[in-house]
Amino acid sequence: MASPSSLCLLAALLALISWQAMASDPSPLQDFCVADMHSPDHFFKAAKLDTPRKTNKVRSNITLINVTQIPGLNTFGISIARIDYAPLGQNPPHTHPRATEILTVVEGTLYVGFITSNPNNMLFSKVLNKGDVFMFPQGLIHFQFNPNPHQPAVAIAALSSQNPGAITIANAVFGSKPPISDEVLAKAFQVEKGTIDWLQAQFWENNHY
Amino acid sequence: MASPSSLCLLAALLALISWQAMASDPSPLQDFCVADMHSPDHFFKAAKLDTPRKTNKVRSNITLINVTQIPGLNTFGISIARIDYAPLGQNPPHTHPRATEILTVVEGTLYVGFITSNPNNMLFSKVLNKGDVFMFPQGLIHFQFNPNPHQPAVAIAALSSQNPGAITIANAVFGSKPPISDEVLAKAFQVEKGTIDWLQAQFWENNHY
Amino acid sequence: MASPSSLCLLAALLALISWQAMASDPSPLQDFCVADMHSPDHFFKAAKLDTPRKTNKVRSNITLINVTQIPGLNTFGISIARIDYAPLGQNPPHTHPRATEILTVVEGTLYVGFITSNPNNMLFSKVLNKGDVFMFPQGLIHFQFNPNPHQPAVAIAALSSQNPGAITIANAVFGSKPPISDEVLAKAFQVEKGTIDWLQAQFWENNHY
Amino acid sequence: MASPSSLCLLAALLALISWQAMASDPSPLQDFCVADMHSPDHFFKAAKLDTPRKTNKVRSNITLINVTQIPGLNTFGISIARIDYAPLGQNPPHTHPRATEILTVVEGTLYVGFITSNPNNMLFSKVLNKGDVFMFPQGLIHFQFNPNPHQPAVAIAALSSQNPGAITIANAVFGSKPPISDEVLAKAFQVEKGTIDWLQAQFWENNHY
Amino acid sequence: MASPSSLCLLAALLALISWQAMASDPSPLQDFCVADMHSPDHFFKAAKLDTPRKTNKVRSNITLINVTQIPGLNTFGISIARIDYAPLGQNPPHTHPRATEILTVVEGTLYVGFITSNPNNMLFSKVLNKGDVFMFPQGLIHFQFNPNPHQPAVAIAALSSQNPGAITIANAVFGSKPPISDEVLAKAFQVEKGTIDWLQAQFWENNHY
Amino acid sequence: MASPSSLCLLAALLALISWQAMASDPSPLQDFCVADMHSPDHFFKAAKLDTPRKTNKVRSNITLINVTQIPGLNTFGISIARIDYAPLGQNPPHTHPRATEILTVVEGTLYVGFITSNPNNMLFSKVLNKGDVFMFPQGLIHFQFNPNPHQPAVAIAALSSQNPGAITIANAVFGSKPPISDEVLAKAFQVEKGTIDWLQAQFWENNHY
């Protein structure tokens, strides 16, 4: 049988141009597939939890560790993210089109929730403390909010895809490039075009995994 | 080997209480699995295309034909929908958490589009005429709009799941039960709480597949 | 995170030599994977339904729209076909080795059916009118026939693979290149070798998706 | 964590009514799922290779060992078959809608082949001796024939599904219950209705896995 | 369309007897499937990180949060575990037959490693500090060891299955019930039967997820 | 539609550098994918069963026929192995991280078994005679032993992956390169470091598929 090294030679070449974009999430066909077979660094990512992090406009910071950061994750259908929340910071309503998420609070308190699909659109929400675990089903709109005005919060999120993707609702609907016609959005949100124009003016830099 | 009839006996029992909700979309393990093995009606649905249809508040009507309507679809990972659009009607921005969609225009004209995930949120849109085909990738926000003020439009949409699900963005974000906190939404959409309260007041009956 | 453009650069290169042959049908790992990230045409196919179409020896015409025609379908596990039937035309008995099919009649009338696997080989058949929907389970032999001697028919078929494949039974069994030994076929069909030789002489150009 | 015994309690109940028909072929969710957790017999099947076997009308005998014979195979996506061929016996042209097959000759000689899908319908064939291995891709029409007029042959076939299914072409096309209209078949095979009627009269008892 | 409540009615009944043992890890067919549709507790698990935990004979403690603890995980293919290590404690060499693992150190220091499959059996190892991330590919033998003689360590492990399973090598090989024949093991480990008998005498209570 | 030849052109190029290492085991997207479309040899492997074979230190010989030997197996999720056992020879305790196995005895007698996962670690074992069939669930530790001191044995094993992988426990745990720390192993196996050092000194050349 060919050695793992030779079996992954092509993968090594392809990795130079981000080939993992072609693959999909099912069962792997080898132990792993990375460029340099002799380094444990392809399975490792240093990410100090103690360093305070700069947060964005909605006062959060998401550090995704997916197949781009740890090449060894290729074909294995899993990734994680660390999320830092400043006091009153949030990870605003978004979906992961390709993953379910399990979130563990490691510091502080979070108010979290998700909304079910049509026709019921039920909100399931909960206040989580340090050590608590909550899950967000694949493709559903969800959010996390740090309700504490004085203390930051930190969570670790496990996601069921090596490249889960994220769609921040406000950014995608009101901040797409080019914008969606305000005629379409006014009818969809049952408001005047002027309100849509106002909402479209507020979109800001994306900040999600 | 056991006959298909006996192999599907349990499925028949379970179908009485909608058992298909448990299954998933991968390869089937038998020819098909339906309650009454001797009727072709488990593979069939009458749905006259000529009948004019009543439309909803956004002036569209979606008739989904999934595993609930055609039990034979069980385990096969595919379904279809017929969509009727009144003049200036729309199928507002929504996602299918479990399916990619291919839409074929069979009557009239449609302006359609989808938005890519973070961080680019690009809008891909197109005007389609009778016979034209367009696709919406799994999990991405998309919409269809009939720009003709006088003529209706009709489309057939194929979806890559026996139960694709749908999340209408406006309904889920501003019309969930109970509502998402306006403190969270105000920050997410970068507007005042008053604007969020106004938007939440507009939600209406869900109307999507 | 790398932008979708860079993530799909390799896919773009590979697409030039039909790389989709390597991929498989499961969950995608990105929004989509196409060569030119800035054109909606990768998600679109013009296919006028009004144009009358030339039909083949069995008086039908199949226009498959799979990943070859719409590159955006890559990794999404779905495709569609438009089928035109002249009066008394048919889509003869065939299988799709990699897909289940849902067929919607958009013009005319069709007599359709499929046969279950061993040991029962039951025929499930139905006459369909405009708007009616029927499904053919993965891998089973099926056919459609336009019984109207004066009117054409048109159907749209959705298939659960980006490249479903088709095996027309008569062509494969009696028209393979080189032919199957008539000693084998005579025993299999329980007839004389002369009958097999006669059948093999009738095979004609393939005409299926 | 619940013990495997309790986790499989329901499976035990369901097995009484052949519940495996509902499941599909992907990754298992437990070590295995059988009714009686304490017997190795759920993983075992006695099948003496030395016993001569009675053959059918086409002079072969197929002994499938799938999830029905070995309950432990449930959810594991694999099965095997032993095939005995009398001198000049055959396993006539057939497909497995849900499996690829690897065949190993353990006694005698076999002439084997498969035909590719449209539009090329190429025949790939080979004469195999004891110990030789050949594969038949999923869904393609294939056959085996023992060309030796004096010696029997035996093969072991591994199949990539716990319930692969089989469609014997002659039986399904000319022996379905009820028969396919001879008007459809005459056009499909490009012969007179009389020839079709003759072929339909020859069908016999099914004899395949 | 049926409401999620009715679609999951059967799942609710089945959950009472641990039905999740039957399912597999692929794409879900609904938003989620839990017994009581109106409680967020099916998506939640309280698990205080601050409480010191009792450790076992190898001085570790594994708290798995899989589908048994959070019913909402059903069909979503992901779970997590919290692992506590006393000073010089370890999670001894083991495999997960159904999952890849991503481990994040949240307290202390860990020496971790995995061994590749035949024929190379390479050891990839690394010392991890607080915040560092390491992955263990599906099915490979791996371990974690807290080398600090004075400080405990804590890690969060994400696993790519709702029920990953674990096989502790020493326990399975030398502590199975009934024992593997010492004639087999003596040859396999290339030692005297007496050494095997000694090893078999040391096995102790299992302590793993 | 593109011909199979052109669709597989890239696969042909990639095959030169073992590209199959990148792919995974799910549904194929074409009839097959091999370099030279016109040769049946890509689906064939000569492997005479009559030739006596040289055995290794544990007195067995494993001949794996996977995608490396039969390129046509690519994307089809199945492979087979022939195993020869000298008198008192064994295939020592090992796992296949990516496959379930079905073993058929074609010559002689075998004592076979597997051990379940934590926490029960039950041994399921059986003595098999010629023609008997036994299965080993995915990822579980298993072994075969020829208890006859005078007669050899031969088995054919079917595996549910095109590249199942194998981990021989003794070799991986006590013979990894570099070795696992004896401090870790002494605690894991509950023995003195001296015993571990002795075991590590015994490892020998790997001999498994």
Annotated domain spans of chain F: 56-165, 171-201
Tell me what ipTM this predicted complex has: 0.84
| Residue D123 touches chain F, beta carbons under 8 Å | no
pLDDT of residue B198 exceeding 80: yes
Q: Does domain B59-165 have CATH number 3.40.190.80?
A: no
The pLDDT mean for chain D works out to 81
The pLDDT mean for chain F works out to 81
> Who wins on pLDDT, B12 or D83?
D83
In angstroms, rounded to a whole number, what is the distance separating the alpha carbons of residues C180 and C84? 32
Inspect the interface and report whether the beta carbons of F141 and E199 lie closer than 8 Å: no
Instruction: Give the closest-approach CA distance of C37 to chain D in angstroms.
Output: 32
Residues 6+ apart with CB under 8 A from C14: A22, C22, F10
Instruction: Give the closest-approach CA distance of E58 to chain D in angstroms.
Output: 19
pLDDT of residue E12 exceeding 50: no
- Residue A12: the pLDDT is 33
- Residue D168: the pLDDT is 95
pLDDT of residue F16 exceeding 80: no
pLDDT tens for residues C88-107? 999 999 999 989 999 999 99
pLDDT of residue F2 exceeding 60: no
Q: Please name the member of A1, A40, A137 whose beta carbon is closest to the beta carbon of E32.
A: A137
pLDDT tens for residues F17-57? 222 223 334 457 777 766 555 677 788 887 766 666 788 88
> Who wins on pLDDT, D12 or D83?
D83
| Residue D30 touches chain E, beta carbons under 8 Å | yes
Inspect the interface and report whether the beta carbons of D2 and E64 lie closer than 8 Å: no
| Residue A76 touches chain C, beta carbons under 8 Å | no
Report, as an integer, the average pLDDT of E46-59.
75
pLDDT of residue B153 exceeding 70: yes
> Who wins on pLDDT, A176 or B72?
A176
Residues 6+ apart with CB under 8 A from A153: A84, A85, A89, A105, A107, A108, A109, A110, A146
| Residue F165 touches chain E, beta carbons under 8 Å | yes
- Residue B163: the pLDDT is 84
- Residue C24: the pLDDT is 38
Q: Is C121 annotated as a binding residue?
A: no
Inspect the interface and report whether the beta carbons of B158 and C120 lie closer than 8 Å: no
Instruction: Give the closest-approach CA distance of A178 to chain E in angstroms.
Output: 31
Report, as an integer, the average pLDDT of D175-185.
94
- On whether the CB atoms of residues C82 and C47 are closer than 8 A, the answer is yes
- Residue C22: the pLDDT is 35
- Residue F3: the pLDDT is 37
Paired sense of beta strands E133-136 and F60-65, if any? unpaired
Q: Please name the member of B10, B14, B75 whose beta carbon is closest to the beta carbon of D18.
A: B10
Neighbours of chain F (3+ CB pairs under 8 A): A, C, D, E
Inspect the interface and report whether the beta carbons of C70 and B133 lie closer than 8 Å: yes
| Residue E48 touches chain A, beta carbons under 8 Å | yes
CATH architecture designation of domain D4-165: Sandwich (2.60)
Q: Please name the member of D6, D10, D26 whose beta carbon is closest to the beta carbon of E14.
A: D10
The CATH classification number of C4-38+56-165 equals 2.60.120.10
Name which of D157, D118, D111, D161 is nearest D140 in CA terms: D118
pLDDT of residue B116 exceeding 70: yes
- On whether the CB atoms of residues E200 and E179 are closer than 8 A, the answer is yes
| Residue E93 touches chain A, beta carbons under 8 Å | no
Contacts of E144 in chain A (CB under 8 A): none
CATH class held by domain E53-165: mainly beta
Enumerate the known binding-site residues of E. 91, 94, 96, 101, 142
- Residue D27: the pLDDT is 58
- Residue D2: the pLDDT is 34
- Residue D71: the pLDDT is 80
- Residue D208: the pLDDT is 42
| Residue C111 touches chain F, beta carbons under 8 Å | no
> Who wins on pLDDT, E141 or B205?
E141
| Residue F127 touches chain E, beta carbons under 8 Å | no
pLDDT tens for residues A135-146? 999 999 999 999
Give the residue from C43, C67, C161 with the most B CB atoms within 10 Å of its CB, the best one to mutate.
Answer: C43
Q: Does domain A56-165 have CATH number 3.20.20.140?
A: no
- Residue E97: the pLDDT is 92
Identify the helix (H) or strand (E) that includes residue E169.
helix E169-174
Q: Please name the member of F25, F64, F162 whose beta carbon is closest to the beta carbon of A1.
A: F64
- On whether the CB atoms of residues B170 and A189 are closer than 8 A, the answer is yes
Report, as an integer, the average pLDDT of F109-123.
94
Nearest CA in chain D to C164: D117
- Residue F14: the pLDDT is 37
Amino acid (one-letter) located at E74: N
Contacts of C28 in chain A (CB under 8 A): 24, 98
- Residue B206: the pLDDT is 43
> Who wins on pLDDT, D6 or C52?
C52
Residues 6+ apart with CB under 8 A from A124: A113, A114, A115, A116, E40, E43
pLDDT of residue D56 exceeding 80: yes
In angstroms, rounded to a whole number, what is the distance separating the alpha carbons of residues D142 and D135? 10
Paired sense of beta strands A101-107 and C167-168, if any? unpaired
- Residue E169: the pLDDT is 96
Residues 6+ apart with CB under 8 A from C159: B78, C66, C78, C79, C80, C81, C96, C99, C100, C101
Q: Please name the member of E111, E173, E202 whose beta carbon is closest to the beta carbon of F141.
A: E173
Contacts of E20 in chain B (CB under 8 A): none
Inspect the interface and report whether the beta carbons of E191 and F173 lie closer than 8 Å: no
- Residue F6: the pLDDT is 34
| Residue D116 touches chain E, beta carbons under 8 Å | no
> Who wins on pLDDT, D52 or C152?
C152
Contacts of D199 in chain C (CB under 8 A): 189, 191, 195
Q: Please name the member of D26, D163, D209 whose beta carbon is closest to the beta carbon of B26.
A: D26
The pLDDT mean for chain E works out to 81
Q: Please name the member of D2, D23, D26 whose beta carbon is closest to the beta carbon of E18.
A: D2
Inspect the interface and report whether the beta carbons of A180 and B93 lie closer than 8 Å: yes
Enumerate the known binding-site residues of E for oxalate. 91, 96, 101
- Residue B117: the pLDDT is 93
| Residue B34 touches chain D, beta carbons under 8 Å | no
Inspect the interface and report whether the beta carbons of B22 and E2 lie closer than 8 Å: no
pLDDT band at E146 (very low <50, low <70, confident <90, very high): very high
The angle formed by the CA atoms of residues D36, D42 and D44, to the nearest 5 degrees, is 155
Cα torsion at C118, C121, C125, C131 (round to 10°)?
Answer: 10
Instruction: Give the closest-approach CA distance of C76 to chain B in angstroms.
Output: 6
- Residue E185: the pLDDT is 95
Taking only the tens of pLDDT, chain A with its 209 residues reads 333 333 333 433 333 322 222 333 445 777 776 655 567 778 888 776 666 678 888 899 998 888 778 888 877 889 999 999 999 999 999 999 989 999 999 999 999 999 999 998 999 999 999 999 999 999 999 999 999 999 999 999 999 988 899 999 999 999 999 999 999 999 999 889 999 998 998 875 444 44
Instruction: Kindly state the tokens that stand for F81.
Output: 């192995």
- Residue C35: the pLDDT is 56
Name which of C67, A38, D45 is nearest B137 in CA terms: C67
> Who wins on pLDDT, B44 or A112?
A112
pLDDT of residue C53 exceeding 60: yes
In angstroms, rounded to a whole number, what is the distance separating the alpha carbons of residues D74 and D64? 15
- Residue F35: the pLDDT is 56
pLDDT tens for residues B160-190? 988 899 999 999 999 999 999 999 999 999 8
CA-CA-CA-CA torsion sign (A9, A13, A14, A20): positive
- Residue E36: the pLDDT is 58
- Residue A35: the pLDDT is 56
